[in-house]
Structure 1
Amino acid sequence: MLSEGWAAWSGQTGDLAAVLRALEPREGLDEDEVACVYYALDGVARAGPRDATIWASQRAIDAAYARVPRSEGAATFRPLDEDTAMPVVQSEFRWQDRVLQILETNADLAEAGQQVRS
């Protein structure tokens, strides 16, 4: 399904509405990674409402924080700035910044999709 979504976003063959319909009944739609994909594709499919793209970004960031290694038996959380400095979170921030730069400099959404994927 991801490849179909990328293809549709990049202007190749594909039907984003069909991909979204296929994702909706999935049990994992509440999980950050799956929800991120769903909201990102929904934002592209509608090409208007910003809520979906904001949710996609937030769910991807949430997923990055969830991948931060935790100490076994830790009774408290580390400070947020320490988690934010972790490579997995910084990598997500860099990737999202790159995508934003591509989208800001490219009026053609299909071309932007191809650049994001490369």
Structure 2
Amino acid sequence: ISRCCPAAAQSGSAMTDQRLRRVRDRVRSFPDFPVPGVLFRDISPLLKDPAAFRTLIDLLEDHLRASFPKIDFIAGLDSRGFLIGPPLAQRLGIGFVPIRKKGKLPGPTESVSYALEYGKGQ
């Protein structure tokens, strides 16, 4: 969280520390999954806890409003971005753009090749 929300992490308030801890405590880490050298972050416990998930959205909203006053859209990467992006976009009163893997959307699309931690994607 401190990496994605430096403004929130650096505020130093006990309330912010408590909020960050609430979110961080619900993210599990699995080293070497799905391949050696990758640290997989499992957000399932966070998704199961409505109060903690709401806290995550609150923290992200606070960070974006403080750091980027004019945002047109939230873009979410397949698939975790689809879980966090829409409620964040709704909170900010802006649209959400899903970014999918090639071949997953009908009609004309744009595609870009990119490197993954354990392969290539498009």
Q: TM-score by structure 2 length?
A: 0.31
Larger proportion of strand: 2
Larger proportion of helix: 1
Q: Which structure has the higher relative contact order (CA within 8 Å, separation 6+)? A: 1
